[in-house]
Amino acid sequence: MAQLNLVQAVNDALRSEMQLDDRLVILGEDVGVDGGVFRATEGLLKQFGPRRVLDTPLSEVGIVGSSIGMAAYGLHPVVEVQFSGFLPPAFDQIVSHAARIRWRSRGRYHLPLVVRAPYGGGIRSPEHHSESPEAFYAHVGGLKVVIPSTPADAKGLLIAAIRDPDPVIFLEPKHIYRAFRQEVPEGEYILPLGRAQIAQEGDDLSLFAWGAMTQIALAAAEELDQAGISAEVVDLRTISPLDAETIVASVRKTGRALIVHEAPRQGGVGAEVAALINDKALMSLQAPVLRVAGFDTIMPLLQLEDYYLPDAGRVVRAARRLMTY
């Protein structure tokens, strides 16, 4: 097995699928000659040529719109949008068309389309480069939303997303693109969509996280462990459809739930996880479900993001509130 970081694992997934399936094409800004703004598509133009790795104009609506047509007519396009803050210009194409063609055509057409975008904070960037927009896409029926938190998961989930018959929004936590390396299985490696992963077992409370926040939750769990509190960390991996079974089983075991996310709190994915726990496991709860989230402001610029993003300290403080409720 190769030791890869997350962005290398994305590259490995793309290469491995492009070798197996010549319907797979990549398109986006600078994905070809340049190899992608974060190098996720490095070497693919050289290996597969300009008909399968397409440098597009700077027009997200055009990129996604073109790929919808490609997917409806038999190709398997994987779109790269350079930053998740640049997804909104394509929002209408995604919501009004990509998500609906199967339903609109009563199943005659379906769209095997993946829209990849680096997302989230942690790299001290300018505006529009640090957003966490997963809740917008999760609220759209007909879309799947997938967020990996490790190199191996990035490869396995991206391959599953590419093979999925329907559109998948695949958000990559850019904060941990190069944060660490991990053994990543070579060749075909598939992780099913729609299944959460218990990143660490525990008995006293459940921490739910995804993307870069999984690492924060694990760090908080370690701190809590030193204080004699056993936290279970559940990495959701797929935001839509949610793995209700794993979420509910964990809460039934621990009786306490804390959700950690980067996006603004109001209307975030944490709300749906809390509502799901209310529906299925309210009577198991020993304390209210708490959310540690970004704030209801725009993501601040540069180093101010340190005050915005949940860190292990905020998670530990909320966990202690739960334990003493």
Partner 1 sequence: MAHLNLVQAVNQALLTEMARDERVLVLGEDVGLDGGVFRATEGLYEKFGPQRAIDTPLAEAGIVGTAIGMAVYGLRPVCELQFDGFMLPAFDQILSHASRLRGRSRGRFQVPLVIRAPYGGGIRALEHHSESPEQFYVHIPGLKVVIPATPADAKGLLISAIRDPDPVVFLEPKRLYRAFRQEVPEGDHAIPLGQARVARAGRDVTLIGWGAQVHTALQAAELLAAQEGISVEVLDLRTLSPLDLETISQSVEKTGRVVIAQEAPRSFGFSSELTALITERLFLHLEGPVVRVTGFDTAMPYFSLEQYYLPDVGRVARGVRQTLSA
Which residues participate in catalysis according to the annotation?
129
Q: What are phi and psi of 87, to 5 degrees?
A: -75, -35
Query: Contact region for partner 1 (CB under 8 A) — 30-38, 114-122, 294-302, 309-317?
Result: 294-302
Cβ-based nearer residue to partner 1, 46 or 104: 104
Mapped onto helix, strand or coil, the DSSP state of residue 176 is helix
We find the least distance from the C-beta atom of residue 126 to partner 1, in angstroms, to be: 11
Q: Which of residues 138-167 bind partner 1 (CB under 8 A)?
A: 138-142
Query: Contact region for partner 1 (CB under 8 A) — 107-115, 196-204, 268-276, 304-312?
Result: 268-276
Residue 179 one-letter amino acid: A
Cβ-based nearer residue to partner 1, 180 or 295: 295
Q: Which of 55, 10, 64, 11 is nearest to 29 (CA)?
A: 55
Q: Does 223 bind partner 1 (CB under 8 A)?
A: no
Residue 172 one-letter amino acid: E
Return the structure tokens found at 43: 């070497």
Q: Does 136 bind partner 1 (CB under 8 A)?
A: yes
Give the count of residues interacting with partner 1 (CB under 8 A). Answer: 47
Residue from 288, 311, 320, 323 binding partner 1 (CB under 8 A): 288
CB distance 61 to 7 below 8 Å: no
Query: Contact region for partner 1 (CB under 8 A) — 107-115, 136-144, 207-215, 247-255?
Result: 136-144
What whole-number distance in Å separates Cα of residue 146 and Cα of residue 160?
A: 10
We find the least distance from the C-beta atom of residue 99 to partner 1, in angstroms, to be: 7
Rg of the Cα atoms in the chain: 19
Question: Angle 151-163/6-20 helices, nearest 10 degrees?
Answer: 30
What whole-number distance in Å separates Cα of residue 4 and Cα of residue 6?
A: 7
Tokens 């529009």, residue located? 128
Continuous H helices in the chain: 6-20, 44-48, 60-72, 91-92, 101-104, 134-138, 151-163, 213-226, 244-254, 269-281, 305-308, 312-323
Q: Does 103 bind partner 1 (CB under 8 A)?
A: yes
We find the least distance from the C-beta atom of residue 283 to partner 1, in angstroms, to be: 8
Q: What is the binding site for partner 1 (CB under 8 A)?
A: 85, 88-89, 91-92, 95-96, 99-100, 103-104, 127-128, 135-136, 138-142, 240, 242, 263-264, 266-272, 274-275, 277-279, 282, 285, 287-291, 295-298
